[in-house]
Every structure is written in C-alpha cells, then in structure tokens.
A and B are shown apart, each in its own frame.
Chain A
Amino acid sequence: MISFAPVYSFALRLLGVALLPCAVAQAAIPIAHWTQASGARVYLVESPAIAMVDVQIDFDAGARRDPRDKPGLANLMANGTAYGVKARGNAAALDENALSDAWADLGASFGGNASNDRLSFTLRTLTYPDLLEQAVGLAARQMGDPVYPEALWLRDRPKMIASLKEANTRPATIAGRAFAQAVYGDHPYGAESTEESLNRISVADLRALHASALKACGARVSIVGAVNRAQADALVTRLLAHLPAGPCEALPPVPEVAPLGAASEQRIGFASAQAHVLVGQPGIARNSPDFFALTVGNHILGGGGFTARLTEEVREKRGLTYSVYSYFAPGLHAGAFTIGLQTRPDQAQQALDLVREVLTRFVESGPTEKELQAAKDNLIGGFALRLDSNRKLLDNVGNIAWNNLPLDYLETWTTQVQKLTVDDIRAAFARTLQPQKMATVVLGAP
C-alpha cells in the first residue's frame, strides 16, 4: 500500500487516522472567518501551494428578488458590469474593450452572474504581488463603477433574444421550462426570461439595481488561495471600496414555494429523436433538518452514478436511456426535487412507469441496509475528493458562508452521514416527497 505524506499544502491536515473503519483520514479544513468594519463577512482558506487565488463575493440579490415583470434583471446587472467602468481618481474610464483587454493582459478572469438566491462575482488571478494588486483594483472598479451604456444594452438585447429563441427549439429547454412552471407556479424560482420581458428591461433598471443591491455590509466573501489573513483582509477592503458601505436594512421576505395540491401531467408534442421525461415537486430549503438524510437517500435513489437505483433499473437492466438521474436543489426556499431521463419516443411511457414505480417504492420503504452502507462507504471514503482542489474548496467555503453553516461543518460532515439510519432516510423522504402529487412533463412521446 502507498502511504500518504501528512503534508497538505492547502491546509488539508490530518486530525487522526483510523477514525473510520475504512481508515480514511479525517480531514480538517481550517476556515478563518471575520467581519470587517463595513459589515462584510470574510471566509478564508489559505492554500499556499500554487501562486493563485480564487475569490467569490455573494450578495442577497439573486433572481428570487427580480421584479416579477423583469426576470433575469439581477443576472443582467451582474453580467453587464463588463460593459465598461467610469473614471475614478487617476484611473481613466475603460470601455468594454479596454476592460476586457486589461483582464486578458493580467491573465486573470472576473465576472458576475446571478442564480436563484445569490448574485455573485468571482475573481481568479495569479498572486504575484503586482498582478494581484492590479487584478483586485480592476475587480473593485468593475463591481463598483460600471457604466451600463445604453448602446451596448440595445446591441446585446437582440443577441439574447435570438439565443433565447434558439434555445426554445431544443427539446430539453422546452421540457425544462414546462417543468419549472408546473413545480414552482408563480414563485420566482420558476420565472424565465422571454422576448417581452427582456424588452421591458432598460439600462435605467440595471443602474438602479446596481445602486441598491450591492453594499459592502451585505457582502459575503469567500477566498481560497495563496494569501494569508492580513493579505486577505486588505484584499477584501480594496475589493469592496467602491461600493456603498450601507446600511443593510432587512430586505423584504420572499414567499415560500407552495406545495403542489395535486398531480399534474403535461404531454407536449415535439418532433425529436428522444422524448424527455421529468417528474418532481418542490423539495426542501437548505436549512431543512432533513438535508443530510435526503442527500444520502438521493445518492442511493438517483444521484450516485452507475450504482444508483434509477440507473440500475432504467439503464443497466433495460437499456432504456443513457442518462437518468434524480436530485434535490435546496436553496433559501424549497428548490425542486427532479427526476429526469431521455429515451426513444416509443419507450417514454415504459420509462415513466418504471421511474414512478422505483420512486414510490423508495419513498415507501427507503433504502436497504446494504444500500445505505454502500452509500456511506462511497460518501465518507471519498470525502477528500470533495476538497482536493482550490476550486472545490471554494465551493465548500462559499456554501458555508452563504448558508450560515458552522465553521467546522466540513469536520462534522462525515459524522452526519455516518449516523444516518434507514429509518431516518425513509422518514425524511416520506415527509418531503408525495409521489401521488407530483408534476410530470413528457415531451416528444407519441
């Protein structure tokens, strides 16, 4: 056997060996956390081995807060920071080309986007001192001083509309949209841009949202890379320097996703080589006490690669599909639980019946002891694979920062998985999923 040296440059250190039967080392990731005077919360994992750093800045300004008639606004505001920045002090204004050339010259990348919950900016740069300094300064300007020229928005809007129309010729897009509508109803999690909604958005909207949504006091900054605490603190101060400090009053609450009252089934005619089948319902929010039970249970049901039940039944035993899966999408609200597959149109009904049968049986009976043990072996044994690059660490640190998880979350993760029983999982699925009330979309079946 090969022994591994207990020196982990990005601070994955051994607490002790043989805490677990399979002798996989328990890893501790020291996460430094502090709050700046501005109110910005900083989370840092020092990873000195490679001369690079990844930074993620999250704000509570994701798509769930988009105006009902302007879905996608937050994302456009974040993306649109690339349209150029104002002059500030000695620094001249940069148009979109000068800005993108400046990033290319630095060999760094920076950009913004919005998901359902978060509006995020991410920076990846080398940490050679002069480069880091310039990259952080440029990121601060792009995040804090964007100009949103009307001509560029009017130029790019038709591109977006054209690509939206293109996407709407694809079976997966059409099925996915119908499914989101059926699961989320009028909750913002189900909102989708349309030609009409894009045409309602003006640069005034982008500027107004930028002015109101991004404040230093609301920023959660996750950092993984070759910077120490003092450098990280200075980096964050500089990064947020062009944003209004605050105050950060409580934001209006966003309604919860309503449970489905009854089953629904949509059959959408479409001339494609495969039918697309989607089945699901609202699932859980990230703060649900059932999070671990559902995560591990779903690994067994349809999340765990070749060995999952759905893959075994639909693909391995019957050859009905290339890809069948299930997942939860826990957010600040109850994201969808989704089962999906694609199959030759004439097999769609057979595959749908099979998926429903597998799901119903799983919700009724839960996993077997053997399946649970296999899932634990995989998840606990492979825990280190979730943390073995800066990129993966950043995902984990960002998750802790955003969801207010304890700083020792990663240290207790394997224990949380280990202590689950078959009953825990069965009970959590029974509380969460109602197979008789799910939304079904079948696109492209005869």
Chain B
Amino acid sequence: MKHTHRWHYLLKTALAFGLAAWGWAAAGPVPDAPLVRQFTLNNGMTLIVRPDHRAPTAVHMLWVRVGSMDEVDGSSGVAHVLEHMLFKGTPTVKAGDFSRRVAALGGRENAFTSKDYTGYFQQIPAARLEDVMALEADRFVNNQWSDEDFRKELEVVKEERRLRTEDNPHARLGEALNAVAYTASPYRRPIVGWMNDLEALTPDDARAFYRRWYTPANAAVVVAGDVEPEAVFALAQKHYGGIQGPAMPARKPREEPEQSGMRRLDFKAPAEQASVTLAFKVPSLAPAALTGTPDAASRDALALTVLAGVLGGYDNARLERALTQGEDRVADSAGAYCGLSARGPSMCMLYGVPAEGKTAAQVEAALRAQVARIAKEGVQPSELQRVKNQWVAGEVYKLDSVFNQARILGVNWAIGLPLDADEKTIALLREVTPAQVQDVAARYFGDDSLTVATLLPQPLDKARKPRTAPAGMRH
C-alpha cells in the first residue's frame, strides 16, 4: 500500500510452498536450491542468512516470537502498540532519529505485527547492513520513551484502527467472527486491539510487554540479499551477540476447547452487499511433520490445503465456477482458504457475496454443497495437477523478491518450522491423493465445528451526523 506505514499480516500466515519438480516442471532446468544458513548467537538469538547476489541490496529483519496471541484480556493491541513505540527512541537515538538514520543510509523501513509474531525491517544497500544492525540491536534492548510520547502514538494507533477496521464492514465482520469462533484461544482478539482496550492501555503495559518478550532467546535476525553468511554472522555476534535478556517466560498453551455445535452471528454494518463466511476448525500441520513422519492430523492438514486449492486456488476454480456463472448464479464472488500452519489453531474458510436477488443463506448452502459434492464424488486428478502447478510456478516467481524470501524465512522461524519448510511441505503436498482430499472433505465440514458469520447490510444515512468521539478521548 502506498501510504500506510505499519503493516499487518492480519490473516494468512500461509506457507509458501517449496520448489519441486514434477509434472511439466521436470521438463526444464530447476534453479539450484538457495543456500540458507542458520546460526545461533552466544546469547541464544537465532540468525538466518539467505544470500542472493542479483543486486547490491539487502534486507535486514528482526523477528520476535510475540504477537497478539501473547496478550491477555484488557490489554489487547499492546504487541502492536509496542511495535509503534520501538520507533520512539533509545537513550542514544532520540524519537524519530531511527527513521532519519535509516533514510540517510538510503534505506526503506517498516514493521509489522501479526497474531504470531512482530517484525521490523530495513531494505538497504548491502554495504549498509552493519549500520542498520547497530540501530536495530540498540532498540531491541534499549527502547525508551516518555509517557507523553506513548499517549501521542496511541492516538495514531487508534486512527489506524478506525482506518482499517471501524470504517471497513468486512474487517469488522472478520473481527466479530474470530471473537465468536474462538472461546479460549487468544486468536479471538483482534491484532490491533479492541478500541476500549486501546483507550485504557498504559505506558507501563507496553514497557512490561517489552521487558518480558524482547529477549534474545525469543528473537531471530533474518538477512537476505547481497551478503555472505559468515560475514553476517560476525556482524550479528558483534551487535546482537552481547545482548543479555531475561529467560524466556513460560507460555501458557490456552488451547481452544473442542467446539460442539454450530455458532452463528449476524453483523450489521452500512453496506450495499451482504456477505457470508463459514469457518470450520481444522487441524494444523505440526512442525514435527516436516522432520519426521507426519501424524494423522498433519496429513489431514495437508489434504485440506489441497482441497482449498481445488475449491478456490486459481481463477475459475470450483467455487467461482459453480457459484458465479450461469443464468441463475447465486454469488458475485466466492472463495476458500485453509490455514496450514501457525502458532495457534487453524480454520478453513469458505466465503461468498450473494448475487442481486439471492440471499446469504443461499450462498451458504451453495458453498457447503460444493464441499459435499467433493466428499461424495471426489476430485479429478487434472484438478489436483492444476493446483500443484500453481504452487510450483509460484516457487519460481517467489525468488524474484528478496524481501519476500526473508519474510517467509522469518514466518517459518516464528511458528517453529525448519528452514527448509517450504521444500518439505511441497514434497508432502505432492503425495496428497484424490482419495485423501475426498476424505477430508467428508470429515471436516460438518455443523459441529462451524461458525457462520453473515454481514447484514444496513442503509447508509448520508444525512446523518458523523459519529461523535466516544467519551474520555484525548483532544
């Protein structure tokens, strides 16, 4: 996006899929597997280096394995607010100077917070790597700001919430859906935080979160681009290796109890079009599945990923074709997505926008009918091949972006997957058979683990006065 500064990867910690040669890909040369190196610094911090010598640039990222899922009730949004505060200085770098110094180096920078992790990055000429490492290491351990700076930045974050969520009916629907689908899992809270929690957030909430989670054993540095791994390791030892932090706090699992009955929510918002999202709880791919023999749940997770591809993984996949074409089409758009791997639980989502004159209930029924059809009739090998072809090609295209390669390595580290997770995942997906896809379509899409969220469009009252600011807001 052109103008926004802090990024969220709000929904999909989707895995990218590893390089593999099968089908037509075997016909041509496959690029050599990139040489990715992983190191552990003296203090337990992880370093991952991915050389790519196409251009004299590099990306430097600092990942912390802490996100909104590590927050507790009443302090939702603190991980993300803290991410903003990391730009507000240290004893030696005053507020705003971090950004000014990165800019002076020719760099671009930003940061992002998700449910599972927080990340900071700079894209720089490769020769400037050490400069940004020094800056990043400093704020990782010395971040410090006044209460007044905090209160000002909190207003910025509230504006961010208004922009992304409050005035976006689909974002609000998604937020409401998570809050209903999850009971105990911290995934039930929005990453940006509830507005009322933001209003009540204190500077010390953010400071405590920083002290607790920003510790070397909970962080990884990822560097990709025109660099040599050994040289990067030496720099990382110098700048990060001496940082001492508290021991990792114990994490409470807070697992989601099994759902035992359908949940429904209606969400009213000013809009023209209704929409409906069906969220089914499904198993995740266990990290161990990528280093040993996958357990049954991991095999199901892989088959569900292939199923989502058959339903919605390419233009005109099953859902689009069945729901949005023909004389009596029920939907204007439709799609599917299954989470494969994350620190928390996964869901498969089916969604659609009703066509004029059709209802959300009709779309809901049509979406479920397509899954039921696969459960009954199975899928064609040609469909499976088409889905796999997308992934193989995507693995080549993904090599074009150094930034993306670093991002994927960071995500995989954050959720506990091995460095070669992409290649291993692809290898496992290759083995998924039509019968397995049919089997998971039959087993995971019943009523009991389903949450249905429907957006009920409300007329827009253009003459109405704008909403007034809630009481208690700063002016």
- Chain A residues engaging chain B, CB cutoff 8 angstroms: 1-5, 7-10, 12, 14, 22-25, 27, 47, 49-52, 96-97, 100-101, 103-108, 124, 126-131, 155, 158-159, 162-163, 165-166, 168-172, 269-275, 304-307, 311-312, 315-325, 327, 340, 342-346, 374, 377-385, 387-391, 444-446
Return chain B residues, CB-CB under 8 Å to A51.
28-31, 396
Q: State how many angstroms separate the Cβ of B45 from the closest Cβ of chain A.
A: 19
Task: Among A106, A159, A342, point to the contact of B159 (Cβ < 8 A).
Answer: A342
Once the chains bind, are A22 and B159 in contact (CB under 8 Å)? no
Return chain B residues, CB-CB under 8 Å to A388.
54-55, 57, 225, 402
Return chain B residues, CB-CB under 8 Å to A7.
53
Q: Which chain B residues numbered 431 to 469 have a C-beta less than 8 Å away from chain A?
A: 460-469
Once the chains bind, are B155 and A166 in contact (CB under 8 Å)? no
Q: State how many angstroms separate the Cβ of B292 from the closest Cβ of chain A.
A: 30
Task: Among A101, A130, A316, A381, point to the contact of B316 (Cβ < 8 A).
Answer: A101
How many residue pairs, one in A and one in B, have C-beta atoms under 8 Å apart?
A: 285
Task: Among A10, A103, A165, A275, point to the contact of B466 (Cβ < 8 A).
Answer: A275
Q: Which chain B residues numbered 151 to 168 have a C-beta less than 8 Å away from chain A?
A: 151-160, 162-163, 166-168
Per-residue contact bits, chain B 100-142, to A (CB 8 Å; 1 contact, 0 not): 1001111111000000000000011111111000000000000
Residue of A nearest to B168 (CB): A170
Once the chains bind, are A5 and B54 in contact (CB under 8 Å)? no
Is B347 at the interface (CB under 8 A from chain A)? no
Return chain B residues, CB-CB under 8 Å to A269.
462-466
Once the chains bind, are B469 and A126 in contact (CB under 8 Å)? no
Return chain A residues, CB-CB under 8 Å to B204.
none
Once the chains bind, are B4 and A323 in contact (CB under 8 Å)? yes
- Chain B residues engaging chain A, CB cutoff 8 angstroms: 2-5, 24-25, 27-31, 53-57, 87, 95-96, 99-100, 103-109, 123-130, 151-160, 162-163, 166-168, 225-228, 231-232, 235, 270-273, 314-316, 321, 324-325, 329, 332-333, 355-356, 385-386, 389-390, 392-394, 396-397, 399-402, 460-469, 473, 475
Q: A128-B29, A155-B329, A274-B167 are in contact. Are A346 and B159 (CB under 8 A)?
A: no
Return chain B residues, CB-CB under 8 Å to A23.
127
Task: Among A159, A162, A273, A377, point to the contact of B272 (Cβ < 8 A).
Answer: A162
Once the chains bind, are B356 and A271 in contact (CB under 8 Å)? no
Q: State how many angstroms separate the Cβ of A312 from the closest Cβ of chain B.
A: 7
Once the chains bind, are B393 and A22 in contact (CB under 8 Å)? no
Once the chains bind, are B466 and A322 in contact (CB under 8 Å)? no
Once the chains bind, are A389 and B402 in contact (CB under 8 Å)? yes
Return 27 A-B CB contacts under 8 Å, by A number: A2-B130, A4-B126, A8-B55, A8-B56, A22-B106, A49-B54, A52-B396, A105-B385, A107-B24, A126-B25, A131-B27, A166-B272, A271-B460, A273-B167, A305-B109, A311-B5, A315-B156, A324-B3, A342-B163, A379-B106, A382-B105, A382-B106, A382-B107, A382-B124, A390-B400, A446-B465, A446-B466
Once the chains bind, are B400 and A382 in contact (CB under 8 Å)? no
Once the chains bind, are A384 and B56 in contact (CB under 8 Å)? yes
Once the chains bind, are B166 and A274 in contact (CB under 8 Å)? yes
7 extra interface residue pairs, beta carbon distance < 8 Å, beyond A320-B159, A344-B159, A388-B402: A8-B56, A47-B54, A273-B467, A323-B5, A377-B103, A377-B104, A382-B106
Query: How long is the Cα–Cα vector from A271 to B5 in the complex, in angstroms?
Result: 25
Return chain B residues, CB-CB under 8 Å to A342.
159, 162-163
Query: How long is the Cα–Cα vector from A130 to B24 in the complex, in angstroms?
Result: 9
Task: Among A2, A101, A271, A317, point to the contact of B129 (Cβ < 8 A).
Answer: A2
Query: How long is the Cα–Cα vector from A171 to B168 in the complex, in angstroms?
Result: 9
Residue of A nearest to B313 (CB): A104
Query: How long is the Cα–Cα vector from A315 to B29 in the complex, in angstroms?
Result: 50
Q: State how many angstroms separate the Cβ of A298 from the closest Cβ of chain B.
A: 13
Residue of A nearest to B164 (CB): A322
Once the chains bind, are A378 and B24 in contact (CB under 8 Å)? no
Query: How long is the Cα–Cα vector from A295 to B414 in the complex, in angstroms?
Result: 39
Once the chains bind, are B28 and A305 in contact (CB under 8 Å)? no
Q: State how many angstroms separate the Cβ of A101 from the closest Cβ of chain B.
A: 7
Return chain B residues, CB-CB under 8 Å to A273.
162, 166-167, 467
Return chain B residues, CB-CB under 8 Å to A14.
56
Once the chains bind, are A10 and B55 in contact (CB under 8 Å)? yes
Q: A49-B54, A382-B107 are in contact. Are A270 and B466 (CB under 8 A)?
A: yes
Return chain B residues, CB-CB under 8 Å to A311.
5
Once the chains bind, are A162 and B332 in contact (CB under 8 Å)? yes
Once the chains bind, are B465 and A271 in contact (CB under 8 Å)? yes
Shortest Cβ-Cβ A-B pairs, 10 listed? A381-B106, A128-B28, A107-B393, A382-B106, A319-B155, A273-B166, A388-B55, A306-B99, A319-B152, A322-B160
